[in-house]
Amino acid sequence: MLTTVLVLAAIGIWPTRSTKYEISIASPNGSIPRCATITGSASIPSGDSLWIAQRAAAEKPYYNLNEVAIGDGNAWQITTTVGPANATGVTFTVVAFALNAEASQVLLDLATSPTNSYFYLQALPQQVTEQTSRNMTRNTTDITACP
């Protein structure tokens, strides 16, 4: 039995995901201000969390990681500062992704630690179970960060 389980796991047949994940980014469309409201929908299993991150299209690190609450009708919304003030006209990739409870707690602990008031990730966590992304270009006039 153990040999069968190991073989099935090794070739990616077992275990299978029994819950379907659906994550989308609906808006905004077109150019965005620095303080942008981003919306979408997500259907993820109980216990998992939805996170939003961003990165300049030409860069690797992910910044402004935020856990997002999923509301009625599976809708979510976040208002977040996109990029630094001098990044007008720059295209950013906004990523919405699901994480299990353990990985979410690690990010929450980093985000709330007094010694880590600012952090970024070189890559998304390995525990990401589903993700989607959308490119958004900052407009050339609005440099005001979100309050």
Token couple for 114: 């007094």
Reported as a single tens digit per residue, the pLDDT across 92-129 is 999 999 999 999 998 888 776 666 556 788 898 888 98
Q: Considering the domain boundaries, does residue 54 fall inside one? A: yes
Q: What is the CA radius of gyration of the chain?
A: 17
Question: Regarding beta strands 63-68 and 75-81, do their DSSP bridges make them parallel or antiparallel, or are they unpaired?
Answer: unpaired
Determine, yes or no, domain membership for 108.
yes
Domain assignment present for 146: no
Q: Is 5 contained in some domain? A: no
SS3 state of residue 92:
strand
pLDDT tens for 14-25 read 444 456 799 999
Backbone angles phi, psi at 135, to 5 degrees: -85, 135
Question: Considering its fold, how many domains does the chain have in total?
Answer: 1
Domain that holds residue 53: 19-138
**CATH number assigned to the domain comprising residue 110:** 2.60.40.10
Judged on CB neighbours under 10 Å (0-12, 13-18, 19+), 84 is: middle
> Does residue 57 belong to any structural domain of this protein?
yes
Residue recorded with tokens 């299978």: 16
pLDDT of residue 14: 40
Contact between 101 and 30 under an 8 Å Cβ cutoff? The reply is no
Whether 4 is covered by a domain: the verdict is no
Residue 8 lies in a domain: no
* Under 8 Å between Cβ of 74 and 45: no
Q: Is residue 36 part of a domain?
A: yes
Strand partners, 68: 50
Strands 31-32 and 63-68: unpaired
Mean pLDDT (whole number) for 133-138:
95
What integer is the mean pLDDT of 24-46?
94
